[in-house]
């Protein structure tokens, strides 16, 4: 029996399928099987959930390191054979995921992952999250809560584009791209990846995403990953920076406390 998932469009379904196939081809972490794809409908292997054990977490850490090590042709590219931008966000409210090749991770992260979410035209998309507030100057102009983040982000984007963090990532990793804890299904046979936004990037991004909403057995998972693929010095200090993309995405989608979270991260690295 399969699990039927409806994407927002046929292209969005193709994007998800391409990411699943690309991650599976790495030969590392287990990836949910595609049973069939038709228009905007994906039929996927039905998974039975189970409690994650320490041994399963350790196995997943090693397997994820192998997935990352499979690499990508450049930073910022999508799965092999994919043309154009991808998609990010929930199936009912997807945003473009800009894709194009970069030689520098920092420039890619600034240009493709952060800056598009900070553009002036971007507003909180959910009505309850997108309530405007009066400008602090008192002139009655109503602006989005996201607007002040763009100016605050300028020094962070500059540091990234100047290559200050590039030494921590010597080669592009094959990323899941949206590896928050809900996109890891724990089964009796171990962890299974679902719902990717797969692209070439920094391996610390996937690990930071796992920490963002508290993946189970996280420290065991990280320890086994580090045994298989040590990270550059100072990786724990970079965790909030690596989380910034997903935090900004949540700020755009949901507003609320995510806007404040993004502001705190930007101030930390400004």
For the chain, domain boundaries:
49-269
Radius of gyration of the chain (CA): 19
Query: What pLDDT, on a 0 to 100 scale, did the predictor assign at position 256?
Result: 85
Residue 183 contacts by C-beta under 8 Å, 6 or more apart in sequence?
176, 193, 194, 195, 196
CB 72 within 8 A of CB 200: yes
Query: What pLDDT, on a 0 to 100 scale, did the predictor assign at position 54?
Result: 96
Residue 52 contacts by C-beta under 8 Å, 6 or more apart in sequence?
186, 191, 216, 217
Residue 187 contacts by C-beta under 8 Å, 6 or more apart in sequence?
47, 48, 49, 50
The tens-digit pLDDT sequence of the chain (270 residues) is 789 999 999 999 999 999 999 999 999 999 999 999 999 999 999 999 999 999 999 999 999 999 999 999 999 999 999 999 999 998 888 899 999 999 999 999 999 999 999 987 676 665 444 444 333 444 444 456 677 899 999 999 999 999 999 999 999 999 999 999 999 999 999 999 999 999 999 999 999 999 999 999 999 999 999 999 999 999 999 999 999 999 999 999 988 899 999 999 999 999
Query: What pLDDT, on a 0 to 100 scale, did the predictor assign at position 217?
Result: 94
Query: What pLDDT, on a 0 to 100 scale, did the predictor assign at position 112?
Result: 98
Strands 41-45, 2-6: pairing kind: antiparallel
Query: What pLDDT, on a 0 to 100 scale, did the predictor assign at position 147?
Result: 79
Q: What is the 3-state secondary structure (H, E, C) of 110-166?
A: HHHHHHHHHCCCCCCCCCCCCCCEECCCCCCCEECCCHHHHHHHHHHHHHHHCCCCH
Third-level CATH fold of 49-269: Aminoglycoside 3'-phosphotransferase; Chain: A, domain 2 (3.90.1200)
């Amino acid at each position: 029996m399969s699990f039927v998932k409806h994407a927002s469009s046929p292209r969005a379904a193709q994007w998800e399928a391409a990411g699943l196939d690309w991650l599976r081809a790495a030969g590392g972490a287990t990836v949910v099987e595609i049973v069939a794809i038709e228009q905007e409908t994906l039929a996927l292997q039905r998974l039975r959930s189970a409690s994650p054990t320490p041994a399963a977490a350790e196995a997943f850490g090693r397997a994820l390191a192998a997935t990352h090590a499979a690499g990508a042709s450049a930073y910022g590219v999508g799965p092999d054979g994919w043309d154009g931008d991808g998609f990010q966000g929930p199936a009912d409210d997807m945003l473009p995921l800009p894709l194009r090749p970069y030689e520098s991770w920092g420039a890619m992260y600034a240009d493709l992952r952060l800056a598009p979410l900070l553009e002036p035209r971007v507003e909180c998309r959910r009505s309850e999250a997108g309530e405007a507030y009066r400008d602090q100057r008192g002139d009655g102009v109503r602006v989005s809560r996201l607007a002040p983040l763009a100016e605050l982000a300028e020094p962070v984007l500059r540091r990234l584009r100047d290559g200050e963090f590039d030494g921590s990532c010597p080669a592009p990793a094959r990323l899941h791209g949206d590896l928050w804890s809900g996109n890891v299904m724990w089964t009796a046979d171990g962890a299974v990846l679902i719902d990717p936004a797969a692209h070439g990037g920094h391996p610390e991004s996937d690990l930071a995403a796992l920490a963002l909403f508290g993946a189970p057995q996280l420290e065991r998972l990280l320890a086994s990953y580090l045994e298989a693929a040590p990270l550059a010095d100072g990786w724990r200090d970079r965790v909030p920076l690596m989380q910034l993309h997903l935090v900004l995405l949540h700020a755009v989608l949901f507003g609320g406390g995510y806007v404040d979270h993004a502001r705190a991260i930007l101030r930390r690295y400004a």
